[in-house]
C-alpha cells in the first residue's frame, strides 16, 4: 500500500509533532499517520530504508525515533519541507512508496 496522494481530503489534520503537520488517524505507538504536507511521509508505511535522507539534495528529512512502531523504530521526518525544490527523488527512491510530494500543497507556514 502506497501513501494516499489525496490525504488532505481523506484525513484530518491533528496538529503538529516534531515540527511537521500530523494527518490522522493516529494511535501511537502503532499508528502514526502521515507527517508533513508539501512533502508527506506515511509513517505507517515507512520502513526506515533511508534512501530519501541520502538522496534529497536539500536535506529535507531527519530521522525521528518511533519506538514500538511495527514497521520501523525510526522514520524519515520532513522537517525542512519548506526547502524542497520538488526534484521528486525521494518519491522515486522510496521502496515502499511512503513519500508523496505535491508543489500545490502549501504545507507548514
Ligand atoms: Fe528533497 Fe524530495 Fe523535495 S528529494 S527536494 S524532499 S522532492
Ligand atoms: Fe522511509 Fe521510504 Fe525514506 S521507507 S526512510 S520514506 S525511503
Examine residue 36 and state whether it is found in any structural domain, yes or no. yes
Using CA atoms, how far residue 2 sits from 5, 19, 45, 46, 99, in Å, is 9, 23, 7, 10, 8
Nearest CA to ligand 1 atom 2: 90
Q: What does the pLDDT read at residue 21? A: 96
Structural domain of 16? 7-101
CA atoms within 13 A on the CB side of 42: 21
Examine residue 109 and state whether it is found in any structural domain, yes or no. no
- Nearest CA among 37, 56, 57, 34 for reference residue 46: 34
pTM exceeds 0.95: yes
Nearest ligand, CA of residue 62?
2
Examine residue 86 and state whether it is found in any structural domain, yes or no. yes
106: confidence class by pLDDT, cuts 50, 70, 90: confident
**Distance, CA of 42 to CA of 75 (rounded, Å):** 9
Q: What does the pLDDT read at residue 108? A: 54
Question: What is the position in ligand 2's atom list of the atom closest to the CA of 74?
Answer: 5
- Nearest CA among 77, 46, 43, 44 for reference residue 60: 77
**Distance, CA of 74 to CA of 64 (rounded, Å):** 5
Q: What does the pLDDT read at residue 99? A: 98
Average pLDDT over residues 54-80: 98
**Distance, CA of 3 to CA of 19 (rounded, Å):** 20
Number of domains into which the chain is organized: 1
Examine residue 2 and state whether it is found in any structural domain, yes or no. no
Which of 86, 94, 104 to mutate to test ligand 1, by most ligand atoms within 8 A of the CB atom?
A: 86
Examine residue 1 and state whether it is found in any structural domain, yes or no. no
Examine residue 83 and state whether it is found in any structural domain, yes or no. yes
Average pLDDT over residues 1-23: 96
Average pLDDT over residues 27-47: 98
Ligand 2 center from residue 109 Cα (angstroms): 24
Examine residue 107 and state whether it is found in any structural domain, yes or no. no
Contact 11, 29 (CB under 8 A): no
Q: What is the CATH number of the domain that holds 91?
A: 3.30.70.20
Nearest CA to ligand 1 atom 3: 84
Q: What percent of the chain has pLDDT over 90?
A: 93
Examine residue 108 and state whether it is found in any structural domain, yes or no. no
Amino acid at each position: 500500500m502506497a501513501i494516499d496522494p489525496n490525504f488532505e481530503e481523506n484525513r484530518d489534520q491533528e496538529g503538529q509533532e516534531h515540527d511537521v503537520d500530523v494527518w490522522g488517524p493516529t494511535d501511537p505507538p502503532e499508528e502514526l499517520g502521515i507527517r508533513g504536507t508539501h512533502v508527506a511521509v506515511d509513517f505507517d508505511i515507512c520502513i526506515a530504508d533511508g534512501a530519501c535522507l541520502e538522496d534529497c539534495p536539500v536535506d529535507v528529512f531527519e530521522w525521528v525515533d518511533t519506538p514500538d512502531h511495527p514497521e520501523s523504530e525510526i522514520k524519515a521526518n520532513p522537517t525542512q519541507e519548506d526547502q524542497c525544490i520538488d526534484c521528486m527523488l525521494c518519491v522515486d527512491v522510496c521502496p515502499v512508496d511512503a513519500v508523496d510530494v505535491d508543489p500545490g500543497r502549501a504545507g507548514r507556514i
